[in-house]
Structure 1
Amino acid sequence: MDDAEVLKKRGYIMGINLGEGSYAKVKSAYSDRLKCNVAVKIIDKRKAPRDFLERFLPREIEMLARVKHPCIIKTYEIFETSDGKVYIVTELGVQGDLLEFIKKRGAIPEDVARKMFYQLANAIKYCHELDIVHRDLKCENLLLDKEYNIKLTDFGFSKRVARDEDGRVVLSKTFCGSAAYAAPEVLQGIPYQPKVYDIWSLGVVLFIMVCGSMPYDDSNIKKMLKLQKEHRVHFPRSKVLSVECKDLIYRMLQPDVSRRLCIDEVLMHDSGFL
């Protein structure tokens, strides 16, 4: 049975292709029950690598079923067919993702970026309080609803934070996410604090929002790492940014993990950006 037939039986009319990879694709669909358009991620387990099937897919499904927050994409249902396909039906980001938005419109004015970033930071605070880490924060994983509110998506690299018998966080060893958004400790293959890693990626996202460009050029990882470790953040001269905004980015892009802000410090940043 093809995807359109499978979805039709569940009350969805399949629409256009939203994205495609080697073992997964995302389609739009109309839900008769919800009376709105949705996104359907279709994963073909027969084509997916074992590591993904054994580790990442079960975690993603567990996290999607668990997280419920206005700034996180809503999951409506998850089901599997006998031929090994998993269908994840979620809210649709009707205005596309943040990267597309910035590519079309350029840097976001600081007052608008402040509102969007506050929504994202609240979604991360919610996850971190549940001991869930995202580990793949990037502009492509931030969808926009019809009012341009942020909706965090793609929990493919997310996991529950492990703790030892004394309650201390067990360091992560898996390289997750995109190099351009990755913290220096992750790029170096050093076991890392996963919540602290999310904060670095938040800093990169905010920089891109207000500057319309990347803080570091990931085409040369060795050079990028050198700049990161020297705590050099170059803001474009063409952009007029408040001292508060620059200070918050600078403190999130802190190479010393013991000095990098935690999510509560981001939201209560003493410069007053948020």
Structure 2
Amino acid sequence: KVIDLTDVTQDYKTQFLPRELFAIKKLRHRFIVTTFDSFFVSTRVFIVMELATGGDLQDMIDKLKRPVDDSKARVIFRQVAEGLNYIHNEGVVHRDLKCDNVLLFDDQKVAKLTDFGFARTSYLSPTGQSVLVATTCGTQEYCSPELLSNHPFKPKPNDCWSLGVVLYVMTTRKTPFPLRHQRRRQLKKKYSKTGITNDDCKDLIQKILEPEVSRRLTIGQILAHKWICNIIV
């Protein structure tokens, strides 16, 4: 990955880039893309990562021209969820989780999270509560209703929402909420379930795409859900 510093904003240079470099050095997990080195040459930043021979998840879905098979979707989703669980346990939030940021390896049998350009530390208050953040970032189709409200929000539940959108895209080949009136549709839970053939998968999506943060599944609860709890990866 090569970043030309003449093409980015000052905020990116002073906030987002340092956070990304910190995250990729800190995070080491079998479902996180490995970074070997990063260095500056003149006005460019070079980030050396493992080669994803299988492309990204969005490319795979586009080329399939059909939803991902249930058995394969379970494995990919479990791997991505374990990667997200790891970074959350390390005190990091991704904030731009989407199919494009899931890279595939080993004949598309292994999925790994990548692109920590919007990642940041998930700070805790003295009482142990997650500190709210106000920065709006990420890809709109994958953003939670609380992020789109333009009010401070908890970043970990937002990551879980995005993970739910990833699952929805794998099973339907489209995002659940069109950009027009997106937040209103989210709050009313108005999305099509056509094409989601597995009832357990449908149940999991419904519980992740829950607009009320207090009722939305956490990453631990997602991993314990019956659709993927017995998947060994």
Please state which band the TM-score falls in when normalised by the shorter chain.
over 0.9
Match of 2:89 among 121, 129, 146: 129
State which of 188, 194, 197 in structure 2 corresponds to 1:230: 188
Look up the match of 1:167: 128
Alpha-carbon offset, residue 241 of structure 1: 1.4
Q: Deviations over 1:162-188 (max 9, x none)?
A: 122222211010111111000011111
Displacement of 1:240 after TM fit?
5.0
Helix, strand or coil: the match of 2:87?
Answer: helix
Query: 1:200: Cα distance to partner?
Result: 0.4
Distance 1:48 1:251, change over 3 A: same
Task: Let me know the Cα RMSD of the aligned residues.
Answer: 1.1
Tell me the residue number matched to 1:26.
Answer: none
Contact 1:233–1:250 (8 Å) recurs in 2? no
1:91 to 40, 50, 54: 50
Tell me which residue corresponds to 1:201.
162
Query: Displaced runs of 4+ in structure 1, greater than 6 A?
Result: none
Matched, 1:247 2:171: no
User: 1:273 aligned to 2:227?
Assistant: yes
CA distance in 2, matches of 1:207, 1:79: 37
Task: State the partner residue of 2:102.
Answer: 142
Any residues of structure 2 matched to 1:1-274 within 5 Å, and which?
41-81=1-41, 83-105=42-64, 106-148=66-108, 149-218=110-179, 220=180, 223-236=181-194, 239=195, 241-269=197-225, 272-274=226-228
Query: Of the two, which has the highest radius of gyration?
Result: 1
Q: Which has the higher strand share?
A: 1
SS in 1 for 2:97: coil
The SS at the match of 2:213 is: coil
Over the matched positions of the two proteins, sequence identity in percent amounts to: 38
Question: Judging changes above 3 Å, is the alpha-carbon distance between structure 1 residues 240 and 156 closer, same or farther for their aligned structure 2 residues?
Answer: closer
Q: Is the 8 A contact 1:135 1:177 kept in 2?
A: yes
Q: Distance in 2 between matches of 1:111 and 1:190?
A: 38
Separation in structure 2 between the aligned mates of residue 59 and residue 225 of structure 1, nearest angstrom: 29
TM-score, normalising length: structure 2: 0.94
| Contact residue 93 and residue 151 of structure 1 kept, 8 A | no
Larger mean CA deviation between 156-165 and 130-139 belongs to: 156-165
Give the corresponding residue for 2:231. none
Which consecutive residues of structure 2, in runs of 5 or more, have no partner in the other structure?
229-233
Judged with a 3 Å threshold, the aligned counterparts in structure 2 of structure 1 residues 240 and 62 are, in CA distance, closer, same or farther, namely closer
Whole-angstrom CA distance in 2 between matches of 1:47 and 1:199: 31
The structure, 1 or 2, with the larger RCO (C-alpha pairs under 8 Å, 6+ apart) is 2
What is the total number of aligned residue pairs between the two structures? 226
